[in-house]
Amino acid sequence: SARLIDGTAVARRVRDEVAKGVAELVAQGGRTPGLATILVGDDPASEVYVRNKRRACAAAGMRDFHRRLPTTARQEEVREVIAELAADDQVSGILLQLPVPAHLDSEALLDHIPYDKDVDGLTVKNVGRLAQGRPGLRPCTPAGIVRLLDEYEVPLAGAEVVVVGRSVLVGRPMAQLVLARHATVTVCHSRTKDLAEACRRADVLIVAAGVPQLIGRDAVRRGAVVVDVGIHRGDEGLHGDVRFEEVAEVASLVTPVPGGVGPMTIAMLLHNTLEAARWQQGSAAPAA
């Protein structure tokens, strides 16, 4: 049966690396990296995410800037906050917590973040740089998945990688990142005709559909590596998009939920914030 991919352990290693990198940068006379989080409204899940990001940032020795706006904030007000943080050289990274209230245009807001402070990798510039295979800041969840696969020495060059989901946040950048690593990539989504058949091609199956229990053993080739991005809160705690017990019988490696992909997202946010600070202080753009 499958070995587990321990995302908690890898995330801890990444966070330690970042803390060391922050200390080195400061010892060399550089500015302390700082992350600015912007929270608009009072969505309870977003509040928890932002709190965890701020704590992790402080724990890594970075400065924590935070702006809170009411649910009724106008586009112009959020834009002004972004402009102010953009102009502040103590702020290395700007993160607009999504989703924002429905009357705001999140795409337009994101594009006001300077691309070298775009630590979520969601501005049109960084998305374009990824699509062109140029250096830049990458979305945290898919970047964390690549790091997990590297840590477990899962080969990507020439591998068949199937990504389930095509969201701007996860599926699309995931496909681009493994394409940049020379995988043969298939992207499935809600209109895919025979999902299980497409998934069975995979040497590496990455599932980010947001549908509980979507993937069972009929969709997994024996020996495949399975990465479950889904997060669903049920009566007995968290689960993913994968029927874990079934899939663990045929896969060679699988991520648990919780403790797989989840912890990597914040770790990669810290990594991106350090990379952004170095970039702003004269280092090369973050490598692919």
Residues identified as active-site: 53, 97, 120
Is 134 a residue that touches ligand NAD (CB under 6 A)?
Answer: no
Closest approach of ligand NAD to the CB of residue 4, in Å:
16
Among 159, 170, 177, 227, which residue sits at the site for ligand NAD (rule: CB under 6 A)?
Answer: 170
Closest approach of ligand NAD to the CB of residue 152, in Å:
17
* Sign of the torsion formed by the C-alpha atoms of 19, 51, 89 and 112: positive
Is 229 a residue that touches ligand NAD (CB under 6 A)?
Answer: yes
264 phi, psi to nearest 5 deg = -70, -25
- Nearer residue to ligand NAD within complex by CB, 85 or 268: 268
Is 166 a residue that touches ligand NAD (CB under 6 A)?
Answer: yes
74 marked among binding-site residues? no
Closest approach of ligand NAD to the CB of residue 278, in Å:
24
Among 169, 220, 253, 274, which residue sits at the site for ligand NAD (rule: CB under 6 A)?
Answer: 169
Our CA angle for 250, 254, 259, nearest 5°, is 150
Helix (H/G/I), strand (E/B), else coil: 207: strand
113 marked among binding-site residues? no
Tokens of 158: 């020439």
What's the rounded Cα separation, in Å, for the pair 14 and 161?
Answer: 24
Among 32, 186, 192, 281, which residue sits at the site for ligand NAD (rule: CB under 6 A)?
Answer: 192
Tokens of 16: 């330690």
Tokens of 227: 């990465």
| Cis, bond preceding 258 (omega within 30 deg of 0) | yes
Residues 108-127 that bind ligand NAD (CB under 6 A): none
Kindly give the pairing relationship between strand 232-234 and strand 237-239.
antiparallel
CB distance 14 to 140 below 8 Å: no
What's the rounded Cα separation, in Å, for the pair 209 and 196?
Answer: 13
Residues 245-274 that bind ligand NAD (CB under 6 A): 261-262, 265
Chain contacts with ligand NAD (rule: CB under 6 A): 141, 164-167, 169-171, 188-190, 192, 195, 208-211, 214, 229-231, 261-262, 265
Binding-site residue positions for NADP(+): 165-167, 231
